[in-house]
Amino acid sequence: MNPLLYEWTTPFGTPPFHLIKTIHFKPAVEEAIKSASEEIKQITDNIEPPDFENTIAALDETGEILGRITSILFNLNSAETNKNLQKVAQEVSPLITRFSNDITLNGKLFERIKSVFDAMETSGLSIEQKMLTERRFRSFILGGAALKEEDRKRFRQISEELATLSLKFEENVLEETNSFELHITCRDDLAGLPESLIEMSSSEAEKRKKPGWVFTLHFPSYVPFMEYSEKRDLREKMFRAYSSRAFKSNEYNNCGNALKIANLRLELARMLGFTNFAEMILGDRMADTREKVEKFLNELYLASKPAAFRDFNKVRQFAENYQHEGSLQRYDWAYYSEKLKKKLYDIDDEILKQYLSLEKVETAVLNLATSLYGIRFIVNNTIPVYHPEVKTFEVYDGDGTFLAILYIDYHPRAGKNGGAWMTSYREQKNVNGIDVRPLISVVANFTRRSETRPSLLSFSELTTFLHEFGHSLHGMLTKCTYESLSGTNVARDFVELPSQFMENFAYEKEWLDSWAVHYLTGEKIPVEIIHKIKEASTFNEGYSCLRQLSFGFLDMAWHTITNPLDTNISDFESEILAKTELFPPVEGLNMSVSFGHIFGGGYAAGYYGYKWAEVLDADAFSYFTETGIFNSETASSFRKNILEKGGTDKPLDLYVRFRGKEPSIDALLRRSGLK
């Protein structure tokens, strides 16, 4: 019996991870595709005239079993993968893409959708129904529905190849991340490193049955090493290893994959009548044209460039006074920045970590949601999980209504991609008056506990937790009718608003003062440290903004090409990044080949969205600071108009309903110290 194909009797209908094996996925996907194909046939064979319910809504309800199977497969492939699972994902991905193409290239189905779309303004549809109809019609156009028959075969080939290439791209980055280790056997080489990192690296060495200490490219190891190691040669070694992932002369090189993906995306866009891929993608975004995106990026670039040079020169001058010789390299930046920050504000991650134990942070973040929105979290250890480290919570509204199941997976493992993300195993929807509640997951790579210390988070890990938890709130609080519009199914440059909004609380005394205590003494975080956190919040912000913009420029460059690229990938990247580069070039490094957000994830032609959402979140939080950061009316408005609404209306309209006016860039410039 294949557990993926039967109704689950687990608590709240959660995935039965304890029963699911790798061999179950492919046959389950094949069976689910057959079932979903029959559901599509019922829509196209319907003799009734097409209307919203029998076509658009019916289509939104198809493929439920396939959706739940693939959500498990691809979430596991990111959070707890292995060679066998990767192989299955590679085999299944073309099947899913082929089925998706079967839907969007179904002429009879498209005719019905177009009929509903054409009559949309006169058929009495609600705003939510219009949004779903528009989105469905656009997805069919982008899925090749209007293509001539002779072009459809090539469209299918491209779609399937892109799906496989994106998976391979991410696999290569993960392999390269896991394959490197810095093995140290001489204690002198640990100079400058905090005791917590030394202890963690000793445990890693023991795990690998090696003497001494082992450092890896996973963030809890890599970031503090770059910040504190006094050994410049070792910092350079770590930096080169991290920045050359998937750029070496081996089987995991992503140069060819990146070029193929970019060129195939261009071919796909041209086939559909667009000049480039970005033009195709941006049509349903808040910034809906290439010109708007580039204007936005350049506006921020002009605002941040002087501040970036100021930040750079301050750190460079500090390094020179610190007896640094020669030019300042990128592998020197974190080290001297951290030392300058300590000098200016008498604060660094090692000081802050003492007050940021994961146990306290988790409670504080969950309680923050309770304070803002009245929701409650109850641990449930009977819910099956894919790894023993995963924690599960039942989530309830203030009136006792069940809202969601929340999974949280905190720590790095060999089978887990780097970074942090929120995802779901089931989206919210309303079926025949029954509110089907979501299953939401937060995955991270936070510092583990050691033999002598609990898991102590860096300040960056704290803001990351808040960020991903903000996404989870978007997924858990949603109240929509149709799955395709619920939760985080919103415009890509709007989806980061709830997540980045939550990060603001990390700098607020009123929140930190309520929970942050020293992990050993229980002493409350001193008020002067909280003030220093706020003061230091604009430290190197000009540099950070320019760095983030460089990723946005690079993303847009890859996706605004109008002719296929057949060039040296380093030359292409260097030319694009030249105007944002502050350091001397280093041979053998490349950003693009490990840029998973745009080549493996869903941010192609959308990476600018992080900065775009910063404008929104800064403006939104300024409203909270005006009315009180825990003001119930303001929080209720944010919940009602943003978090609950998903993609049921235009993002700007939702925002204006919450804020009372359109967002302004001024709040971001003020918060960042750029104005």
Return the active site residues.
468
DSSP string covering 331-353: HHHHHHHHHHHHHHHS--HHHHH
What are the counts of helices (DSSP H) followed by strands (DSSP E) for the chain? 27, 9
Alpha carbon 277 to its chain centroid, in Å, reads 21
- The residues facing 443 across adjacent strands are 409, 421
CB distance 524 to 641 below 8 Å = no
CB distance 462 to 446 below 8 Å = no
- The residues facing 395 across adjacent strands are 377, 404
| Helix-, strand-, coil-residue percentages of the chain, each rounded to 5 | 60, 5, 35
Phi/psi of residue 374, nearest 5 degrees: 75, 10
CB distance 277 to 249 below 8 Å = no
**H-only helix segments in 272-329:** 277-281, 290-321
CB distance 576 to 554 below 8 Å = yes
Query: Going along 152-211, which residue ranges are E strands?
Result: 182-184
Residues in the chain, overall count: 675
CB distance 284 to 132 below 8 Å = no
Give per-residue burial for 628-657: e unless 16+ CB within 10 Å, then b.
ebbbeebbebbbebbbbbbbbbebeebbee
Give the chain's radius of gyration (CA, Å).
25
Phi/psi of residue 667, nearest 5 degrees: -60, -40
* Residue in the block written with tokens 């866009």: 269
Dist CA 284 CA 291 (whole Å): 14
CB neighbour list of residue 234: distance below 8 Å, 6 or more residues apart: 182, 184, 189, 225
Dist CA 72 CA 386 (whole Å): 10
DSSP string covering 576-587: HHGGG--S---T
Instruction: Say whether 403 sits in a helix, a strand or coil.
Output: strand
Q: Which of 332, 330, 338, 339 is nearest to 547 (CA)?
A: 330
Dist CA 200 CA 574 (whole Å): 36
Give per-residue burial for 604-617: e unless 16+ CB within 10 Å, then b.
bbbbbbbbbbbbbb
Dist CA 56 CA 464 (whole Å): 37
Q: Which of 399, 236, 332, 336 is nearest to 583 (CA)?
A: 332
Tokens matching residue 602: 């869903």
Work out whether strand 391-396 and strand 376-379 pair parallel, antiparallel, or are unpaired: antiparallel
Q: Is 487 exposed, middle or buried (0-12, 13-18, 19+ CB in 10 A)?
A: buried
Tokens matching residue 412: 């790095």
Q: Which of 606, 643, 656, 306 is nearest to 501 (CA)?
A: 643
